[in-house]
Amino acid sequence: MKNYLTLLFIILSLGAFAQEKEEIKKNTGIFNLTEIGYLPGVGNITHDNIDTENEANTYRLRTIFGYFITPHFSLGAGIGLDGYHNPTYNTMPLFIEGRAYLWNKRHSPFFYADIGKAIKAGMEFEEGLFFNTGIGYKFFLSEKFCIHTSIGYNLQHMKEAMIWYTEIEEDGTINLEKQSTDINMNSISFDIAIHFNILSFD
């Protein structure tokens, strides 16, 4: 965990101290974010009023199309793929996203929030609530190459997820039984995205 926090700090520092060649207003128009992420599990996995340690690791790929309603706020819609491991679930989040930017400049901190549903990408569960929120930094590595980095909290609720239960009989026999239950998955999200300006209104 410390290694990921250090890496994110270095990336944010590069963006914060990068010198801008000129004060160009960039928070306008229609854009796309192509994003990858890593989500280590935190806390416990809750199912049937039982808490077990959350050792899940998740890998994320998603795309978001957004529009700057004002220079300080954008609204968009996105779809992605989240692959959970230990336990293993494949989800397809479909969501709306709001981003609030502190500055109307090439480099700016921002706050974001996503909410939607995780459509099942397998037979392991039924669709459930998806929620993701956090903070980030938008900066340019070159004249046209823009990056968004962020860290946040991710909640995934899965309905009727399949869970393996272990039952030990009196004679020591171990039985495995698969049952369905609702579960909540909590994660910290580390994301990095490439920003593409599709249409500007300058």
Tell me: the pLDDT tens digits for 155-189? Answer: 988 765 555 555 566 666 665 555 666 777 889 99
pLDDT tens column, 186-200: 899 999 999 998 887
Nearest to 157 by CA among 125, 188, 198: 125
In terms of phi and psi (left: phi > 0; alpha: psi -120 to 50; beta: otherwise), the region of 26 is alpha
CA 107/CA 148 separation, integer angstroms = 10
pLDDT tens column, 78-109: 999 998 887 777 889 999 999 999 999 889 99
pTM, two decimals, is: 0.76
